[in-house]
A and B are shown apart, each in its own frame.
Chain A
Amino acid sequence: MAEIVDTGGGGKGDGKVRAKKMSTRVDMTPMVDLGFLLITFFMLATTMTKPTSMTLNVPDKQDKKEEQQTEPLKASKVLTIFMGRNNDIYYLDGVAADDDNAETALKKASYGTEIRDVIFKSKTRINSQNPKDEAGNDPFVVVLKPTPVSTYKNMVDVLDEMAITKTKRYALVDELTDAEKSLLGDRIKPQPEQ
């Protein structure tokens, strides 16, 4: 640290009144205090995690001209996922909702690893049993059906599972058919007020 050597000035006893030599050291403590106070403020005020965005493309509703006739999806190639209330998922793996054994085929899962396993299993099974279509796409299709009692988080979570399982063909369908409504029954009704 810089310091000025006190040489004592000129000779002694010349009778001049001298000002007392002051130290050139500056006390830095208040400055450090202030510095850290400001650091604390800015650290707390900053939002470090930047939000990310996921894209969702929906088919054009107004443009009716390009509607093509495609063959209906076979239920055996489809995994249907219903988002119910209380963060429950119900799914039909390769079974249509109006099928006779749909009631027993309807299973319940939770978000996270459980539904991920279901998707992976269903994907492997359907892709191994069915050939690829002309365009070279996998036959596996997921139909996502958010029910009126599900939340926005449920939808984002399931869309995220699609990204995680790398399912290319999925459809977000917000209408339930009558067969599905009767199959799900009470599970998609709002919970009675306690």
Chain B
Amino acid sequence: MAKVRPKKHPPVTDMTAMTDVAFLLLTFFIMTATFKSNEAVEIATPTSISGIKVPDENIMIISIDNSGKVFFGVDAQATRVGMLENIAETKGVAFSDAEKAKFSQFASFGFPVAQLKPWLALSVEQMKSVKQPGIPVDSTGVSELADWVYAARKANPQLRLALKGDNAAKFPVFKDVLTNLQSQNINKFNLITGSEQPPSGWTPDEQQQ
């Protein structure tokens, strides 16, 4: 007499619950993702206990890298084009629409105005790999950086200014940048820093809240 055997099944795990969790997390990360944009340089900022967040929009960033080169960038693409048009007008250089479109793809750049056109003639891939010399900054307060800031503010008057310096940047460069901005009558600066835990027992002032 034949034995009654239960029908054999391969071991099956129910994956539905796992899929649910995976896609829930995926949705969360997609929603919160903010991608790194085309920055000209990597900058390691110092940290501070300040709790003020950097605004997301209407911001222009002046970056100082570890060798003291200065870079400039504006957040919105439309403003970048407007800024380039303003600079072209004052400096007497004409840029084509294709060059403007390429320029607007880069979050920050570091070229003197004279070298900007040869750079924009390259393909986007080449543009990324080119070593950028930095924007000329002068201790007298009249230099191309001041012109760029002026052009950017003309393109979008609501722009706020933020300074992003590298840990290793020397102080005199920062001082020159400061002089340039003060010549534009900008006296309030936001220094972009990483966040750091305040020492234990420290409480913020009522004024800062």
Interface residues of A (CB under 8 A from B): 1, 25, 27-29, 31-32, 35-36, 38-39, 42-43, 45-47, 49-62, 83, 116, 146-157, 159-160, 163-164, 166, 174
Contact = CB atoms under 8 A, between A and B. Distances in A.
B32 A54 contact: no
B22 A36 contact: yes
Nearest to B35: A45
Interface in B33-50: 33-36, 45-50
Interface residues of B, number: 58
Q: Is the interface of B mostly helix, strand, loop or mixed?
A: mixed
Contacts of B23: 35
Contact of A49 (B46, B178, B188, B194): B194
Nearest to A44: B29
A116 B200 CA distance: 13
Given A52-B53, A52-B195, A153-B46, A46 B182 contact: no
Contact of A32 (B19, B29, B170, B175): B19
A148 B29 contact: no
- Pairs A-B, 3 closest by C-beta atoms: A28-B15, A35-B22, A42-B29
A155 B192 CA distance: 13
A52 B54 contact: yes
B193 interface: yes
A32 B170 CA distance: 50
A156 B33 contact: no
A164 B171 contact: no
Given A45-B33, A46-B33, A152-B170, A53 B162 contact: yes
Contacts of A42: 26, 29-30, 33
20 contacts: A1-B16, A31-B19, A32-B15, A38-B26, A46-B32, A46-B33, A49-B194, A51-B192, A52-B52, A55-B52, A56-B190, A61-B183, A149-B171, A151-B170, A152-B173, A153-B46, A155-B171, A160-B48, A160-B49, A163-B48
Grouping DSSP codes into helix (H, G, I), strand (E, B) and loop, the A interface class, with mixed when no group exceeds half, is mixed
A25 B22 contact: no
Contacts of A148: 170-172
Given A148-B172, A151-B168, A152-B174, 17 more contacts: A31-B15, A36-B22, A42-B29, A45-B36, A53-B192, A54-B193, A55-B191, A56-B190, A60-B185, A62-B182, A149-B170, A152-B171, A153-B168, A155-B171, A160-B49, A163-B49, A164-B202
A54 B18 CA distance: 43
Nearest to A46: B33
A150 B16 contact: no
Interface string B184-209: 01011111111110110010010000
B50 A153 contact: no
B18 A46 contact: no
Nearest to A83: B171
Chain B CB within 10 A, most for which of A149, A150, A152:
A152
B46 A27 contact: no
